[in-house]
Structure 1
Amino acid sequence: MRGVARVFSLFNVVSAGLLAASVVALQAVQRPPVAPTPPKLELVERTPLKVKVYFTDAKVQLLKPETRTLMVAKSNARAVAQAALNVWAAGPYDRSLLGAVPAKTAPPKVYLRGQHFFVDMPAAYANLRYGTSGERMLLCTITRTLLEERGEDVTFLLGGENVETLGHLDLREPYTRKDCADQ
């Protein structure tokens, strides 16, 4: 009986328990992790949409439209407007026309509230130094491009801020089709 008591002493029981716990822990650590479930791939169908994008003539006096086919994933007005301004910033295909901003210039961000467009031009647009006619063409090419299909007016922001002017032109009031009709 004394031999059995030595086998089941407190030290031996605790040691056996720790040994069993370490074996279970080792097996748990060595198991490969459960592979995560991959996300479902959802392909968004892009649909072609024809829009008029406005540029300027070589003399920077007249607005000239160029019809472009945009591939848009969503056909909501804001997505179409942003895609149109992305194409606008890239410049015209027709070599007789001039883009309103230098090549590889970031396009403005477009927001829409009801029938009112808000165009947030990058702060770098303030440093273009175009003069009055160039600044007017910059604003009117954007305005005419956005208001071709829908919308009432375009309010311009510069670097996310309301500003009073862009160079020589007043930005306190929104631009409408009528403001750029004589181009």
Structure 2
Amino acid sequence: MASAFDQFCEASREALSTHNGPEGRRLVQQHLETLLNDPDFVAAECGPDAEPGIRTIYRDKETGFNVLVHVYEGGKKGPPHDHGRSWAVYGQAAEWTDMTTWKRNDDGDDAGFADLEEVETFRLTPGKAGTFEIGDIHSIHFPDGARFVRVTGTDLDAIPTNRFNLEEKSVNVGSRL
């Protein structure tokens, strides 16, 4: 019998191959929530003995999606950012992550300038996942010991993404946070 992680990868590949859009990503979110409720997977990849940092644990050759595990010793409050031309599904394994979504009020024509407005904040708790579509802007905040799995549509290190500075009302092109 295939492991829960192997089943997740297969089901996600099928979902993204069949549904090239928000529906496929909604299915990935559902599959990720199922995976995060598997105690063997969580213990192996996100348990107390997991090495701190960000690790890519899978890259799908057919559809290009990536699965990354984030294990943090210290908490973090990150700046608003997007995922470039990719989408992302975050799933919580331990502790919590507050996700704040943002709306861009300017038209993006003034290079380096961005005026953002907070839209909403929601909390991911263990076993729950949230999807961010292409172009969505969000920021994350989590406590010491937080652990989550992130599925992206492509390798974010290989594409430009935007990071926003609220105080300076600026945007900079960079790569993965």
Q: Fold-level match, TM-score > 0.5? A: no
Structure 2 length-normalised TM: 0.30
TM-score, with structure 1 as normaliser: 0.29
- Higher RCO (C-alpha 8 Å, min separation 6): 2
Structure with greater proportional strand content: 2
Highest Rg: 1 or 2?
A: 1
